[in-house]
Amino acid sequence: MAQARTEHAYRVAAWWTSGRTGIAKSDMAPDAIQFTSPPESGGLEGRWTTEELLLASITGCFTTTFRSIASSAQFEFTDLEAEAIAKVHKVGSAFYFDDIVVRPVVKIANFEECDRALDLLDKAERMCLVSRALDFPVRFEPQVQVIEAEFSL
């Protein structure tokens, strides 16, 4: 039996607004995002770069995927943070991502849930739509931290 297909569409438009900056706007969000080239390429300080927006997409996708999976599995966690670090290199006149490392850290209250937390982190890595869409591998280095309850006498 064939699986039912569900389709969603997304739209973002971007405009170059001045000499060194642009804006991007989504149909679904009220605020535009200002972006620029990296400062080392003549961009402005204090604005998002497209490289950072890609990393935000990866970490945002991973955290929302994990939250959804954890919710379906009735898995409770106290916090989740995902950091992404990228290296870019230049070959000829083109730039390429060398390496992207995502370091998610999930915090849980119960040590007995560590293996389950790692399994869910692994599943979220495999299911993250954005990292799967890239034509180079994204490395994940997950961690689980157990938060001990504080007791007072």
Q: Where are the beta strands (DSSP E) in 52-146?
A: 79-91, 94-108, 138-140, 143-146
Q: How confident is the model at residue 5 (pLDDT cuts 50, 70, 90)?
A: confident
Q: Residues 63-81: what's their mean pLDDT?
A: 97
Per-domain residue ranges of the chain: 1-46, 49-146
Measured torsion, CA atoms of residues 50, 53, 55, 59, in degrees rounded to the nearest 10: -170
Please state which of the four CATH numbers 3.30.300.20, 2.160.20.10, 3.40.50.620, 3.40.50.720 is assigned to the domain occupying 49-146.
3.30.300.20
Q: How confident is the model at residue 152 (pLDDT cuts 50, 70, 90)?
A: very low
Q: Give 14-42 pLDDT, tens digit per residue.
A: 999 878 899 999 999 999 999 999 988 88
Whole-prediction pTM value?
0.86
Q: How far apart are CA 107 and CA 149, in angstroms?
A: 12
What H or E segment, with its residue span, contains residue 49? strand 48-49
Residue 26 dihedral angles phi and psi, to the nearest 5° = -100, 150
Q: Lowest-confidence range among 29-43, 48-62, 112-126?
A: 29-43
Closest CA to 104 of 71, 65, 133, 68: 65
